[in-house]
């Protein structure tokens, strides 16, 4: 999915990264990607430890959570790069210690929020692939096939009257909000595909049950500030802090789901609208696939509001795009209000939910 989103942003960047396989010179430092890998490893380790001990996250005691989160962090530190960074400099030891402290607070927030709702974690790092599920294969107009693959950080489930309500959570090390306009324009398709894939796999593993979309969210591990009094205790600070750690994204508006969902923030839509969004995203994937297989490598980056695909692109020195040259130009994305997008989605003919 990252590859398709890269292409949607700029075909030239996609070609340089995945065609020519150009990479930035690697420096001996921990970058955002390394930090993300560390955070994801800790969360996956934590869930695996829960399973090994037969404990549900919502039933954890504070002592169990602290013990398991510390163990999960230590397991992740066995990674060669992280362990070297921690051992070879005071700065490295400080940074890994800071990451570990942030993760342990984040795990506490995840567990506390889970206890407030009616969902339970079903899976961590759930892998999906078009090689095993034909519904996750895109067939371009020229007959080329693309097999979608990915890993979903967290899948939560709640059951009621033969229905299995599914929500997906994507962990982020920086702030990330769900932008419906970016999804509609095909620039941010990952979270929608995660929900579609999780529902597909759930229905296959639980025949006779119906998978219902409950929501798609980001959980940010970014360091955040909470407004408190100067003499506030650590516990008082945490009570303010957890309010800004709520899941953020798109929730199903159904009253039953709303009652089961732990505190969440963001947008709301009914189940039919979420399914329309999934169908639209599949169409955008096919459009992107058609462009990829047609050989499009033009440096034509996208711009949406004040953001451009060039802002943090590592290939600006290689692609030849010159914003001062009238030969080149940005592709400007249509900017719509959420209400307009839902109306447009309602008008679109469904493709039957198949990625073909």
Please give the average per-residue pLDDT across 209-227, as a whole number.
85
Please give the pLDDT value at position 336.
94
Helices (H), the chain: 2-9, 11-14, 32-53, 62-76, 80-88, 90-116, 180-184, 190-205, 234-241, 255-260, 271-293, 316-319, 338-347
Any domain includes 8: no
Specify if 30 maps to a domain. yes
Mean pLDDT of all residues in 196-222: 93
Q: What is the pLDDT of residues 245-285, one digit of tens each?
A: 789 999 999 888 888 887 888 999 999 999 999 999 999 99
| pLDDT tens-digit series, residues 307-327 | 899 998 999 889 889 878 877
- Residue 239 lies inside a defined structural domain of this protein: yes
Q: Is 333 a member of any domain?
A: no
CA–CA gap between residue 207 and residue 213 (Å, rounded): 17
Q: How many domains does the chain have?
A: 1
So what's the pLDDT on residue 107? 92
Which CATH number does the domain housing residue 40 bear? 3.90.320
Of 175 and 184, the structure prediction assigns the larger pLDDT to 184
In the predicted model, what is the mean pLDDT of the chain? Answer: 88
Q: Which domain holds residue 268?
A: 22-279
Residue 105 counted as domain residue: yes
Q: Nearest-5° angle of CA 198, CA 201, CA 204?
A: 150
CA distances from 219 to 113, 145, 254, 266, 308 (A): 11, 33, 22, 12, 24
Per-residue pLDDT at 32 exceeds 80:
no
Task: With respect to residue 99, please indicate whether it lies within any of the assigned structural domains.
Answer: yes
Q: Kindly state whether residue 332 falls inside one of the protein's structural domains.
A: no
Task: Give the confidence band of 211 by pLDDT, cuts at 50, 70, 90.
Answer: very high
The closest of 27, 65, 20, 22 to 46, measured between CA atoms, is 65
329 assigned to some structural domain: no
């Amino acid at each position: 999915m990252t590859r398709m989103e890269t292409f949607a942003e700029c075909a030239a960047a996609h070609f340089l990264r995945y065609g020519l396989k150009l990479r930035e010179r690697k420096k001996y430092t921990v970058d955002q990607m390394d930090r993300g890998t560390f955070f994801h490893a800790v969360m996956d380790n934590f869930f695996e430890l829960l399973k090994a001990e037969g404990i549900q996250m919502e039933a954890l005691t504070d002592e169990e959570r602290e013990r398991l989160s510390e163990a999960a962090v230590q397991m992740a530190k066995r990674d060669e790069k992280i362990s070297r960074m921690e051992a070879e400099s005071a700065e490295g030891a400080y940074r890994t210690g800071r990451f570990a402290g942030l993760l342990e607070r984040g795990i506490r927030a995840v567990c506390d929020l889970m206890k407030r709702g009616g969902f339970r974690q079903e899976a961590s790092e759930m892998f999906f692939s078009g090689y095993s599920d034909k519904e996750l294969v895109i067939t371009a107009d020229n007959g080329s096939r693309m097999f979608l693959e990915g890993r979903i950080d967290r899948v939560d489930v709640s059951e009621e009257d033969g229905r299995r309500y599914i929500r997906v959570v994507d962990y982020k090390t920086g702030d990330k909000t769900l932008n419906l306009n970016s999804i509609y324009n095909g620039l941010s398709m990952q979270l929608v595909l995660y929900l579609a894939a999780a529902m597909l796999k759930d229905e296959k593993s639980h025949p006779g049950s119906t998978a219902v979309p409950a929501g798609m969210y980001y959980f940010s591990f970014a360091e955040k500030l909470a407004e408190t009094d100067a003499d506030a205790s650590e516990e008082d600070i945490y009570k303010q802090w957890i309010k800004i750690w709520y899941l953020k994204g798109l929730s199903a508006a159904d009253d039953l789901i709303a009652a089961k969902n732990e505190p969440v923030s963001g947008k709301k839509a009914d189940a039919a609208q979420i399914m329309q969004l999934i169908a639209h995203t599949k169409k955008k994937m096919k459009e992107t696939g058609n462009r990829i297989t047609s050989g499009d490598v033009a440096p034509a980056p996208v711009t949406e509001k004040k953001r451009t695909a060039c802002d943090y692109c590592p290939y600006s020195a290689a692609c030849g795009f010159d914003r001062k040259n009238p030969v080149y130009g940005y592709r400007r994305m249509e900017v719509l209000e959420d209400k307009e997008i839902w109306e447009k989605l309602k008008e679109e003919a469904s493709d039957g939910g198949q990625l073909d």
